[in-house]
Structure 1
């Protein structure tokens, strides 16, 4: 079987991907930093083990070496955070890392690149339309630097595809599940905080200052569709 290189393999999504590929019998190589926590990777079996190479997607030479002998890359590595004190990290990894991967594909015998983008890269919808992967971010505004970095990277990916690079972008939405509790697994992270009593919600301040009257979620949801239809924000 063809050897697969996975970047971002020690993250919440990348670890799950490695388990799936490994269970299917694919020979898997992972590019990890020396400081990475490897606990999410599949343990070795009598028949096979994950091949670990050290490097970083921002270090082109280490990335190029990792590609040697591989046929497919799953590029999952990304900085996924709501914000950072130094926002340049979003762009060095999410944009610069993709540029390096694309260049490595051009210089090696890689046959297919599967790039994990994000639904944030597509931007918000207008006029109640439902977006798909053909939507292009209008770039009028960005909610976060993460969104901006993924939108920029997406345009680079699309341009590379038009130039013949064998790239397949995918656009996952909010990801959550078992495994590492990181910002990339934000729903699980919030759930853990609630269970540890580290997250609390109160509407008392809104009641006093905004005359807010809370009601049950089911009542609010039941009235939401007619309200959106009356505003012309949805067409179904």
Structure 2
């Protein structure tokens, strides 16, 4: 039995990854902060809690000790924060600490590093694969900038001989925690509550949507089959949020939105939201960086992961047919 460490274990992806690894008969150590909400973590003797933080090297090194495989899924995922330096301390500094801890360990056989499609950059006018490199001419969000910097660290680690495999999920959606990383669920809640009365923009945006359980299976496949030093896109169907809303209308038997909200108006709303966020301390759902992202396309191919890992993403329609009734069962949406 392999001993597996999962960082970011209490996050949207991490919690479901821990559960899947335990179902497969692995022994899992979950890195959690003392203040973390543990309610979504699976229970059982095979799950060990290691208290610490990726920004605290000593606690991270202790968590790495004795583990054979590491899933580094810890990340700060927000479109905007009042203190942008936190993105680099967690997303870049956390990876630096992990790689240092692995170098000091003699047990680690493989690291699965969870990056992001943002690290590869926008794909305006085409569909990209793993060979794309971020142009770095501009960054829509500080999160994107931090993931590009972390990606360089991961690539350097691979050239230095560390056993790292890099995976790049798309826009993750599906049942689970309603965090900033579950943006599809949050936008659907806004849509069905009436707070988002129309489509966002003209529908020219393009994202690669990945169901959370497909991404989990892709991570596990990367552990078993992923080649050291390689990058794999764990993406899915490329579509716009307009298409998401249209599918949601069909599934729920409700009418489609009748208006398109222009991006300039959403950006104004975003600036107002940021202003009130600084007063209240509550992070906004929409901020100007969100709009900057929506002005570009982010469409990717997962053919490499299909061929080498056996990755098999479900369609957006299939995923939403599962997710929307789940949101209804929680009382988050009504139709």
Same fold, TM exceeding 0.5?
Answer: yes
C-alpha distance 173-205 of structure 1, shift in aligned 2 (>3 A): closer
Counterpart position of 2:187: 190
Is 1:136 the counterpart of 2:143 in the alignment? no
Counterpart position of 1:75: 72
How far apart are the structure 1 equivalents of 2:102 and 2:89? 19
Counterpart position of 1:160: 157
Counterpart position of 2:37: 37
State which of 87, 91, 95 in structure 2 corresponds to 1:90. 87
Per the TM alignment, residue 136 of structure 1 is displaced from its structure 2 partner at its CA by: 1.3
1:128-158 C-alpha deviation (Å, 9 max, x unpaired): 4432122211101111101000001001100
Counterpart position of 2:96: 99
Given that 2:26 and 2:46 are in contact with CA atoms closer than 8 Å, whether structure 1 keeps it comes out as: no
How far apart are the structure 2 equivalents of 1:99 and 1:115? 12
C-alpha distance 198-3 of structure 1, shift in aligned 2 (>3 A): same
Counterpart position of 1:24: 24
How far apart are the structure 2 equivalents of 1:136 and 1:198? 37
How far apart are the structure 1 equivalents of 2:97 and 2:129? 27
How far apart are the structure 2 equivalents of 1:204 and 1:73? 44
Is 1:176 the counterpart of 2:176 in the alignment? no
C-alpha distance 121-205 of structure 1, shift in aligned 2 (>3 A): closer
How far apart are the structure 2 equivalents of 1:159 and 1:70? 22
Given that 2:197 and 2:259 are in contact with CA atoms closer than 8 Å, whether structure 1 keeps it comes out as: no
How far apart are the structure 1 equivalents of 2:87 and 2:144? 9
Equivalent residue of 2:40, what SS?
coil
Is 1:8 the counterpart of 2:8 in the alignment? yes
Equivalent residue of 2:196, what SS?
coil
Per the TM alignment, residue 166 of structure 1 is displaced from its structure 2 partner at its CA by: 0.5
Per the TM alignment, residue 9 of structure 1 is displaced from its structure 2 partner at its CA by: 0.6
Per the TM alignment, residue 204 of structure 1 is displaced from its structure 2 partner at its CA by: 8.4
How much is the aligned-residue C-alpha RMSD, in angstroms? 1.8
How far apart are the structure 2 equivalents of 1:49 and 1:205? 49
How far apart are the structure 1 equivalents of 2:86 and 2:46? 32
Gaps of 5+ in 1: 207-236
Larger strand percent: 2
How far apart are the structure 1 equivalents of 2:179 and 2:260? 30
Counterpart position of 1:111: 109
How far apart are the structure 1 equivalents of 2:31 and 2:3? 13
Given that 2:6 and 2:72 are in contact with CA atoms closer than 8 Å, whether structure 1 keeps it comes out as: yes
TM-score normalised by structure 2 residue count = 0.58
Equivalent residue of 1:151, what SS?
helix
How far apart are the structure 1 equivalents of 2:167 and 2:22? 21
How far apart are the structure 2 equivalents of 1:78 and 1:55? 14
C-alpha distance 30-204 of structure 1, shift in aligned 2 (>3 A): closer
TM-score normalised by structure 1 residue count = 0.82
